[in-house]
Amino acid sequence: MQKPSGPPIEKVRWHAIWLLLRTDPVRTPAQVGDLVGLSVITTRDVLERWNEHGPDGLADGRKNNGSESKLTDDQRTQRLAPRKTRPLEGEKMRVVLVDNAGWHKAKALVVPPNVVLHFRPPCTPELQPAEPLWPFGREAVAKRSRGRIDRLRNVVRDRWNYRTEHPDEVQPRVGFRGAVGLER
């Protein structure tokens, strides 16, 4: 095998393949994923890419994907200038806050001329304040039997009721003051 070079993700993929190919001991993709910090699905995907494309399958595909490089402040200002012009008479200018999801940045995304997309930094909880609460709800059902939907529904309902009765535990998880005002 070649010596890994390039971005860190390529090194992790090479490490995963190296561990999967060793026979002392034989490891499953789940065990290798735990060792190198990849999910089982990603580890299997790396193995499939290795089997289909060999060493080229482990390359970081983001290098040459045709996307534009990051813009400087001056370039951003130049691109935003036409959008700051007054909208047509009768139209309002709209600013839409979006996260950095791929579909919000897609080249095929059509944005009307009276709409400006404002990209928020990653992991901004204000876009969906309830997002940090999902693990709080999931941990209640993680190791429960999921045999009947009504039992599962009761477990989830009890967990969310607990959440509203104990805002002092919820607020630090969410990290913003609005959590105290959460209602049933």
pLDDT digits over 129-177, tens only?
666 677 777 777 776 666 677 777 888 888 878 877 877 776 666 655 5
Q: Is residue 3 part of a domain?
A: no
Please enumerate, as own/partner, the contacts of 84-92 that have beta carbons within 8 Å and a separation of 24 or more: 87/113, 87/114, 88/114
Based on the fold, state whether residues 140 and 174 are members of the same structural domain: yes
Cα gap 123→145, rounded to integer Å = 32
Q: Is residue 170 part of a domain?
A: yes
Q: Is residue 114 part of a domain?
A: yes
Tell how many helices (H) and how many strands (E) occur in the chain: 8, 2
Q: Is residue 64 part of a domain?
A: no
Domain that holds residue 140: 131-181
Q: Is residue 65 part of a domain?
A: no
Based on the fold, state whether residues 135 and 177 are members of the same structural domain: yes
Q: Is residue 40 part of a domain?
A: yes
Task: From residue 98, give the alpha-carbon distance in Å to each of 69, 119, 126.
Answer: 20, 5, 11
Token pair recorded at residue 120: 């928020």
- Number of compact structural domains in the chain: 3
184 residues of the chain, pLDDT tens digit each: 555 556 777 888 888 989 988 888 889 999 998 888 888 898 999 889 888 888 888 887 766 666 666 777 788 777 777 666 656 566 777 888 777 776 667 777 778 777 888 877 766 655 566 666 777 777 777 766 666 777 778 888 888 788 778 777 766 666 555 444 444 3
Based on the fold, state whether residues 109 and 142 are members of the same structural domain: no
Q: What pLDDT, on a 0 to 100 scale, did the predictor assign at position 83?
A: 61
Cα gap 72→78, rounded to integer Å = 10
